[in-house]
Chain A
Amino acid sequence: MHPPALWDWESGQRVILASMERPENVAWLEEYHISPDGERVAVLASLEEGGFTALVNGEAWENPFEKAWCPRFSPDGRFTAIVQQDGMWTLAVDGEAWEESFDFMWSTQFAPEGEAIAACIQSGGEYGLCIDGVTWETLYENASQCVLSADGKASAAVVQLAQLKPADIEAFKKGVYGVAVNGQSWDANFMNCWTPAFDAKGEHVAAQVRLNLYDYSIAVDGKTWNEIYGCVWEPRFNPATGKVVAPVRLNGRWGLAQDGQIIWEPRFGQCWQQIFSPDGKNIAAIVAPDFGKFTVAVNGKAWGVTFPVVTDLVICREGATVAALGCVDNADWQVLVNGRAWAGVWDMAWKPVISQVGGHVAAKVSKGKRQTIVVDGRAFAREFDQVFDPTFSPDGKKLLIRGIDKGSVVRIVADVAQA
């Protein structure tokens, strides 16, 4: 692990990559990615002689591959790409390919609080997950929507349990879908399953299920709630209590249910993307109090400010700060914090981040061809060709800004009070 506490928080700027020129042996460079700590910048490169490599801080991986895609940094700063060698696909981590290879691989996943890396795989027409190079023992007719537990020690996906003949609508209605956890499917099968989610300890899994064409519910470890609904959205575990909360639709209106009991009355035109504060005491969700008017509700109470679209909801550790984005026509974006819209209007905005201490909020924004960071409502003094999501220091006093400008990649640590 390489937690933020160990990063360089010395105020000032460092150039991470002075030149972004395309090397002579490279036909084209793809999009740049930067490690969470801002120390490494990487880009996939198509080579003139054929094949692909990655350039990390300007240095090519030792061995090229036939193809490479899905470039991503892990939370601890390892650069990964799904690569093809001899016609087979695997994952390369800092240039080292896993020994196992597959007919196809996609959707790289990282454990939020661990070191595990996983990806969906297809091998011989069977589907499953591969975690740190180890494949599920049981593979399935199909597997999708894979997810890792917070520590990465458990994995889950929606799986298809039997083959369907073409247009066999009766077999479909009997239910051939389930959830597999660590490769083992639940005993129960359903018409549909969606969005499996782990609890904080990685011991339980909840998912949306459709019991027949009309009845929706939530299943936890394969056991369905007693209550059925006209529709449901993604369930999430309360990190403190382990209870499962999901948006549910009754009589055409949306609310929240917890373990099958209504906790937010169904009075919204929409309700989704609920999140908890880590102490489990506060729930926030994106809601539509009226048709075409979206906002955020915290513990069931909707903010007064509404937008045609609200996205990117976040909540701080103690629940005292809740932030989201509102926009009109996907163009006029504003950052919303605790029910108030910041004054700045941007062409685009990215998911806000909240400091663990101090309740500061920052977000990446763009206007025209330039991007910058807004902090507590103020735009950072400098603009960039491209900037990445900001990160607060653990004490909330510093802000890490990673940007590309004038052909170089820079890492800036700014004092929040002066940013």
Chain B
Amino acid sequence: MGIADRLIEDVGLRGGVSKLTPEQIQKTVNAVISGETGAKLKAYAETCMRCGLCAQACHFSQSHPDDPSYTPAAKVQATMGVLLKTGGKVSPEFIYGMAQLAYTECNLCRRCVHYCPIGIDTGYIMSTVRRICHKLGVTPQYIQDTAHSHSATFNQMWVKDDEWTDTLMWQEDEAREEFPGLRIPLDKEGADIYYSVIAPEPKFRTQLIYQAAAIMHAAGVDWTMPSEPGWDNSDMCMFTGDFEMMGRLKRKHFESAQKLKVKRIVMGECGHAFRSVYDMGNRWVAWKMYPVPVIHSIEFFWELMKQGKIKLAKKYPGPVTVHDPCNVVRGRGHHEKLRELVRFLVDGPIIETASNREHNICCTAGGGVINCGPPFKNVRLDGSKAKAEELRATGVKTIVAPCHNCHGGLEDTVHRYKLDMHIKFLGDIIYECMEKPS
């Protein structure tokens, strides 16, 4: 089996390859490989020993145990391996399969790096394959639409400038019913904290903004949110391979915070955006590290807990299990802080999945895979079988998952595999259990 045996029709992929010529493909492939890669890719390509250890690392591979084409090494060989071997002399139909594989069968979760004896980063190689696909105009329809939204509105869900502020005011009004005097301070210069979110929050997860405002209010935090674009820290352009737009988004985000002269950015419970702000987007711009410190909600809530600023009226009934989002755990090492926080919030033990902490299995939604939309939903859910089995084995009813995409993916997984579990953000639990000032 291979990707050619499981092609799925997608408007974006089909429309893209319909315009390609072999000459254009070869020129683009070689332009990216010679102009944008270097020793790292060459070393990875030349040192893979085909030992097969990465098969145990990849949840797609674990979920398809009889099909070696899902192993990271095989996916690399079927994509970048062919491009390097042929010098880019491949057909448009090959590009279709390569794009489908790179965008929908690899979450860029980097678990395989831990298993590879020589540390080959398949996520990097797949990102480079996606970069080539972007340059060829062959990207899945739904994630490309998200990238278009980023470019037009500086957020990923076509939220217009008025809708953003209006939503914040609406949530502020709602919250004032419960917390008289609560504010969502807009454009407050010099605040300690600039709170940034991703566009699904104002679009359809507004309760997360409400809860964040409630927690900030109860903890007495000096915070602000911007009224103008820059508020969305997310970055699907990073995942389509549109690095120019990725850099533009990060510039907008950080300059929005710099303009307000805040001390730190706290970002909501999102995984991929963290990767963009501290690793990829910032560095495309030429900042070695982020120009304004960015604190993920796990760390921020942990700080509030340590400082005694979150006081609990009750504990959330456990036991629970914890899902470690790849980008803030493998990418940042927040797994122990996450567990300290969960132990503080929950009455009962944490029942770990067999793979946990930095070895956690991805939710199978990350890396932009869930953003590729309905055509690829079954690909994603077939690939999450390994995760589902680990979750079922815990025997608990609650999954704590501090990441939006993980939530979306795990909700689908819970439904598909009839796990009878529900998923909570940290903010859900803190809001539910905290002492609420009247």
Q: Which A residues lie at the B interface, using CB under 8 A?
A: 27-28, 30-31, 46, 67, 69-70, 103-107, 120, 122, 127, 142, 144, 160, 166-170, 172, 177, 191-192, 210, 213-214, 216, 230-231, 249, 251-252, 269-270, 272, 288, 291-292, 294, 308-309, 311, 329-331, 347-348, 350, 366
Contact = CB atoms under 8 A, between A and B. Distances in A.
Interface in B184-209: 185-190
Nearest to A292: B288
Contact of B161 (A27, A31, A106): A106
A374 B272 CA distance: 41
8 contacts: A28-B181, A31-B188, A120-B162, A142-B160, A167-B142, A172-B145, A231-B247, A330-B291
A104 B190 contact: no
B39 interface: no
A104 B12 contact: no
Given A252-B35, A308-B289, 13 more contacts: A28-B183, A106-B228, A120-B161, A122-B160, A142-B160, A172-B145, A172-B148, A191-B151, A192-B151, A213-B134, A214-B135, A308-B287, A331-B263
Interface residues of B, number: 53
Contact of B15 (A105, A170, A294): A170
A70 B187 contact: yes
Contacts of B285: 270
| Interface of chain A: mostly helix, strand, loop or mixed | strand
B229 A144 contact: yes
A33 to B, nearest CB: 10
B288 A291 contact: yes
B144 A169 contact: yes
Quick one: which of B134, B145, B161 has the most chain A CB within 10 A?
Answer: B161
A230 B243 CA distance: 11
Contacts of B283: 291
Interface of B: 11-12, 15, 35-36, 134-135, 137, 141-142, 144-145, 148, 151-153, 160-162, 165-166, 169, 180-181, 183, 185-190, 227-229, 242, 244, 247-248, 251, 258, 261, 263-264, 283, 285-289, 291-293, 373
Nearest to A330: B292
- Nearest first, the 6 closest Cβ-Cβ pairs linking A and B are A292-B288, A104-B162, A269-B286, A270-B286, A288-B286, A167-B145
A292 B135 CA distance: 26
Contact of A169 (B11, B35, B165, B183): B11
Contact of A127 (B160, B185, B244): B160
Nearest to A312: B258
B162 A122 contact: yes
A166 B165 CA distance: 23
Contacts of A122: 160, 162
Contacts of B144: 169
A213 B137 contact: yes
B288 to A, nearest CB: 3
Contacts of B190: 348, 366
B181 A292 contact: no
Quick one: which of B166, B251, B291 has the most chain A CB within 10 A?
Answer: B291
Quick one: which of B36, B185, B286 has the most chain A CB within 10 A?
Answer: B286
Nearest to A102: B162
Contacts of B152: 142, 160, 172, 177, 192
Contacts of B242: 213
Contacts of B227: 69-70, 106-107
A301 B153 CA distance: 35
A417 B140 CA distance: 64
A309 B287 contact: yes
Quick one: which of B134, B152, B180 has the most chain A CB within 10 A?
Answer: B152
B273 to A, nearest CB: 18
B12 A70 contact: no
Nearest to A120: B161
Contacts of B145: 166-169, 172
Quick one: which of B36, B160, B247, B264 has the most chain A CB within 10 A?
Answer: B160
Contacts of A331: 263
B423 to A, nearest CB: 26
B169 A67 contact: yes
A366 B191 CA distance: 13
A27 B181 contact: yes
A191 to B, nearest CB: 8
Contacts, number: 115
A311 B289 contact: no
Given A330-B293, A348-B263, A350-B261, A144 B288 contact: no
Contacts of A347: 263
B165 A348 contact: no
A210 B261 CA distance: 30
A211 to B, nearest CB: 13
Contact of B186 (A46, A69, A329): A69
B244 A216 contact: yes
Contact of B35 (A30, A251, A269, A294): A251
B15 A308 contact: no
Contact of B12 (A27, A46, A107, A169): A169
A329 B285 CA distance: 16
A309 B261 contact: no
A348 B261 contact: yes
Contacts of A46: 181
A370 to B, nearest CB: 12
A234 to B, nearest CB: 10
Contacts of B142: 167
A218 B399 CA distance: 50
A144 B161 contact: yes
Contacts of B247: 231
Contacts of A366: 190
A107 B228 contact: yes
Contacts of B186: 69-70
A331 B144 CA distance: 37
B291 A309 contact: yes
Nearest to B283: A291
A103 B285 CA distance: 37
B229 A210 contact: no
Quick one: which of A31, A167, A272, A288 has the most chain B CB within 10 A?
Answer: A167
Nearest to A67: B169
A294 B286 CA distance: 9
Nearest to A291: B286
A30 B251 CA distance: 29
Contacts of B187: 70
B280 to A, nearest CB: 14
A30 B187 CA distance: 11
Contacts of A142: 152-153, 160
A251 B36 CA distance: 10
Given A27-B181, A106-B161, A167 B141 contact: yes
B165 A231 contact: no
Contacts of A272: 251
Nearest to B36: A252
Contacts of A168: 145
Contacts of A28: 181, 183
A107 B161 contact: yes
Given A104-B162, A214-B135, A169 B244 contact: no
Given A70-B187, A251-B35, A348-B190, A104 B181 contact: no
